[in-house]
Structures are given as structure tokens and as C-alpha cells.
Structure 1
Amino acid sequence: MQNKNLMIGIAIIASPIVFALIAFPDSFSLSWNQGRGGFIFALVFVVAELIGLKIIISKKRLISVIPLSVAVITYLVGLEYGLRDYILSSAESFNVQLIYSWTWMWDFIVMGIFVMVALSIFFGKRWIRIAPAGPIFLVGSAIILSLDTFFPYDSLGPLQYVVPYLVQTNVWLVNVFDLGTATARDNIMFLKGDFGPMVLQVFWPSAGVHSIIIYSLVMGAFLLKMNIHRNRKLIYFGLGIVGTIGVNMIRIFSLSWYALKVTTDAKQWEEFHSVAGEIMFLPWLFVFLLIVIILETKRLKKSESEGKLPPKNN
């Protein structure tokens, strides 16, 4: 029998996201800094972590979260009736250069706070071990958007530091696969392919550095709740970092390939660039988490069949 109150709780958490998806579908872009596509992935995390729980949520707790859900929906509607203009106008006061990151940042802040508060009302302090991935994904996205807002392009040195190495590696790959001519200087690539030359300047978001931060936050929260030995957690975390860097290399390589083999038209290239990274990173994140779950589930069943106790969560 399904835990009815739990399903209602999930529905309450999902309601602002579902409302936005129905009322403002055009706002759900896969680009990390141009829409609410991240809301859907956060919701998937929440649902995946809550489905099947045996914990009973009281009716009183459910009712207490409904006004918060209504408040978030009111915020989303208010954006269409002047609130977004107010947020845009306030950007100048904070010397914001990238206004789109600024406006979407507030969406993720509001949704992240809502999901965290809702989960804390439902489960108390235990929420961080029950369903941390969704809210941490939202808050992590808000942090990345804030960094892009206040430290645009290459102004944030530590995050930009690794980009030239990724660019040099990509140039080497382009030349190895004989896709065209490619050279690099710092974070700038000079490409010449089937449709002529194109110069690409790569900043840390385009290089996927933000995805490493998001991965670290989500995977850290995910491993925190798993009852496995610390060494195995470190191994999984490290493998995920390597995999995420690999995905980022594929991201940069695909952007170069598009310029070399498809088009050098800036508008068309930018359309591809806006979605290429998230199309690769988010599925990779889900697949990697799924692999970890499958491996550890099999390992736990094997330990139980052999009469061994599972390792302590440390």
C-alpha cells in the first residue's frame, strides 16, 4: 500500500514546478543560465529519494507547507506582472553585468529555499539524510548563477585557472582527429574548418567548471546518506569527478566540432552552445548515481546472503 501522505507531500513540493511548467513552458530551457530546466531535474531527485519511504507525514505538517507552495506560485506569477522588471532594474544597483543569470538566480534561490523548508517541515533535521539531492541541486545552481552574475567571464580566477588546460587538450584532439585546423592561446581557440575560420573564447561556465561544482554538491549529499565505508565513498566521488571532467571535454570538443563541421554562424552556434553542456552533464549525473546505487544494492544483498553486517556509515 502506498504511503498516501507521502505522495501528497511530494505533490505539494512539486506543485510550483508543475504550475510553472504548465503556465510558462517557454521558461524551461535546458541551458543552465537561461531558464528553469533545472527545476525538473531537482524534482526528479526529490521524487527518486522519497518514493518508497515508510515515514508517515502528519496531516498537520502537510497543511503547513501548502501556504509556502502558494507563496512560491504567487512569486512565479508576480514575475509576469512587474516583479521581473523590478529584479532587472535592481541589477544596476549591484553592478550586475549578466542580467539573465541575475534574474534566474532568484528563481533558483526561491525554489531551493522552498524545497528545503518543505522537507524540513516534513522530516525535521532528518531531511538532509532523507532527500538532500534535490534542494542541494537547486541551491548549488543558485550559487553558480550568483558567481556568473558577480564574477562574469574570466574575472573569477580560481575557476578560470583550469580552462586553458582543457582548451589545449581540446585543440590536440581536434588535430588528432583531423577535423580541421586548431590552435590555442590561453582560453582562446582559433578554429578553421569546412565553413571557414571561427574564434572561440572559453570561460569557466562554457568549459563546464560549474558542472564539477554541482556534481560535488549533489554527489556529496548523496554519499552522505549511503551506508557504505568512507573509502568507497571517496572512490565513487573521485571516479565521478574524473567522469565529469571527461563529459566537460566532450562538451568543449562538440562545440569545436560544430564550428568546424556544421556552421560558423554565430547565432546557430550559440543555440547549440546554450544546450550542449546540460544535455551531456545531467544525464551523466543520473547514470552515475544509478550505477552507484545498483552496485551498492548488489553488494548489500551479497553481504546479507553471506550473513555479514553492512559497513557502518562513516
Structure 2
Amino acid sequence: MQNKTVLAAILVIISPVIFALVVYPDSFSLSWNQGRGGFLFATAFVAAELIGVRMQISKMRLFAIIPLAGLVFAYLIGLEYGLRDYIAGSAKQYDVNLIHSWNWMWDFVVMGAFVTASVAILFGKKWIRIAPAGPIFLCGSAIILSLDAFFPYDTLGPLQYVVPYLVEVNVGIINFFDLGTAIARDNLMFLRGEHGSMALQVFWPSAGVHSVIIYSLVMMAFLLKMNIPRRRKAMFFAIGIAGTIGVNMIRIFSLSIFVLKVSANPVKFEEFHGIAGEIMFLPWLFAYLFLVMAIETKRIKKISA
């Protein structure tokens, strides 16, 4: 029978997300730097990793994380009473370039710190092998948002390096299938389709480079806790990298098709652009982790039999 304290711990850890979802539902945009949509997937990671845990948790440890949850509640409420304005106002002091990423970064910093501290209190040093995915996903998202806030667009050279190659591949696919007129020049795409023309400048977040970084962090933590041969770990990691790049290519391609076949209206394009990335990457990440776990569980059962 499932340990009741584990179930209670899960409820405490995800309670701030449930509160925000009920009180501020409009803030759960799936755009990676415009909302709390990532909280939902972090919640799924936490629940998936802790539901099967049979380790006993003392009530003292459980009670110790309740005040931490209270602090997150206070933060979320405080945002509506001047804290968000204070955070936005401090951006100039720290030479922040992208205010949206700066604002949402703090949500992920607070939530990441809370979840990390909670699982560390509950499981001690063993937390990294018991429930690493949720904390690493949240902290990784905070790091990526900070990079975008301080080094926007193409100012962070190493992350921008691969973008022209992705643009070239995308343009090649469009021209090969004669879906419209597409020209690539460095990180620029010139598109002309059924509804007009548009020039798209692709930067590393839009190309999904951030998703490769987040995938790598989460997958390494996930594989660390799995007792499987190193070769299989390397294989799963490499397949996941290829799949994540593939998802990013689909994203760039879908944005191009939107311009070529649906609308070249900048406002409509931005609405689609805002959700086209995370709505593909996050389900892919969760589904791939689930698939790896299912494959290895089945393999271990066969070996045991």
C-alpha cells in the first residue's frame, strides 16, 4: 500500500501550482518565456517519480516543507500586490535586456528552489536518485530564462552557432516540396506564400536550443537513477537528443508553413509562435522519459523471469 506520507508530500509540493492554476489560470501560457506552463510538466515529473516511492517519510520531515510551500503561496499572492512591478523595475538596475524572461525567471527560481529544498528535506542526499527530474527541469528553465534575459537574440554566440544550419535545412525542405518560396541567409528566412511575404529572424530560443539543454539536464538526472548498463544509457540519451532536434525542426517548419499557407499577418504569427515550441517539446520530453522507463521495466521483468 502506498505510503500515506508520500502522497501527502506530493500534495504539499504541488499545492502552489494548483493554487496558481486556480487563481491565475491565464498565467499558464505554454510559451516558454511568457507563462507558467512549465509548472504543469514539473508537477507531472514530481508526481510520476514520487508515486512509486516506498521509502518511509517521517512526519517531522513532511511538516518541515509546509512552511516552504507557504512562502511560495506568499510569493504568488505578492506578485499581484506590487512584487511583480518591483521585479520589473529592478531589471534596469541589472542591465536586463528582455523583461519578459526576467519576470518569469523569478517564478521558476522560486518554484525550483522550493521543489529542490522539499525533496532534499524529505529524502536527504538520496533525493538526486529518487526525484531529480522536477527540480532539474525547473532550475534548468530558470537558467535558460536568465540567459535569455541577459543575452537575448544572437548575443550569446555559442548557442546561436547551430541556428543557421537549422534554417538552411528548413528552407531546403520547403523548396524540395515546393511549398512556397524560401530563401535562407544566415539566421534569416525570407518566405513568400499564398498570403504574402514575411522575413523571419531565428534566434536560439526560437530554434529550440534551450530545449536541447533542458532535455540534457533532465535526461542525465533520469538516467542516473536507473540501474541499467552505461551503453544503454548512452543510447537512450543520444536517441533523445536526435528526437529533441527533430521536434525543434518540426517547430521551425510549422512556423514557416503558418506563414506560407495560413497567414502572413504578424499578430497572428506571434500568437502561433508563442505556443508552437513548448506545446511540442514538453509532451515529447515527458513521453520519451515514460517510453524509456516502460522499455527498461519490461526488460528487467524478462531478465527476472
* Amino acid paired to 1:209: V
Quote the residue 2:78 is aligned against: 78
* Amino acid paired to 1:150: F
Paired residues for 1:1-314 under 5 Å? 1-305=1-305
Say which SS state the counterpart of residue 30 (structure 2) adopts: coil
Q: In structure 1, what is the Cα distance between the partners aligned to 2:159 and 2:304?
A: 44
Deviation at residue 178 of structure 1 after TM alignment: 1.1
Q: In structure 2, what is the Cα distance between the partners aligned to 1:299 and 1:5?
A: 31
* Amino acid paired to 1:29: S
Q: In structure 2, what is the Cα distance between the partners aligned to 1:12 and 1:95?
A: 36
* Amino acid paired to 2:197: P
- Give per-residue Cα distances to partners, 1:50-84, cap 9 Å, x unaligned: 00211111111111111110011000100100111
- Give per-residue Cα distances to partners, 1:84-115, cap 9 Å, x unaligned: 11100000011111101001000000000000
Structure 1 alignment gaps of length 5 or more: 306-314
* Amino acid paired to 2:256: S
* Amino acid paired to 2:297: T
- Give per-residue Cα distances to partners, 1:136-179, cap 9 Å, x unaligned: 00000000000100000000000000000000000000111111
* Amino acid paired to 2:79: L
Quote the residue 1:311 is aligned against: none
Say which SS state the counterpart of residue 242 (structure 2) adopts: helix
Deviation at residue 302 of structure 1 after TM alignment: 1.2
Q: In structure 1, what is the Cα distance between the partners aligned to 2:89 and 2:129?
A: 39
* Amino acid paired to 1:125: K
Q: In structure 2, what is the Cα distance between the partners aligned to 1:254 and 1:177?
A: 14
Structure 2 alignment gaps of length 5 or more: none
* Amino acid paired to 1:303: I
Q: In structure 2, what is the Cα distance between the partners aligned to 1:280 and 1:2?
A: 33
| TM-score normalised by length of structure 2 | 0.99
Q: In structure 2, what is the Cα distance between the partners aligned to 1:116 and 1:39?
A: 14
Give runs of ≥4 in structure 1 deviating > 3 Å: none
Deviation at residue 2 of structure 1 after TM alignment: 2.5
Q: In structure 1, what is the Cα distance between the partners aligned to 2:274 and 2:260?
A: 17
| TM-score normalised by length of structure 1 | 0.96
Q: CA RMSD in A?
A: 0.6
Deviation at residue 290 of structure 1 after TM alignment: 1.5
- Give per-residue Cα distances to partners, 1:114-137, cap 9 Å, x unaligned: 000000110001000000000000
Deviation at residue 219 of structure 1 after TM alignment: 0.4
- Give per-residue Cα distances to partners, 1:21-62, cap 9 Å, x unaligned: 111111110000000010110010000000021111111111
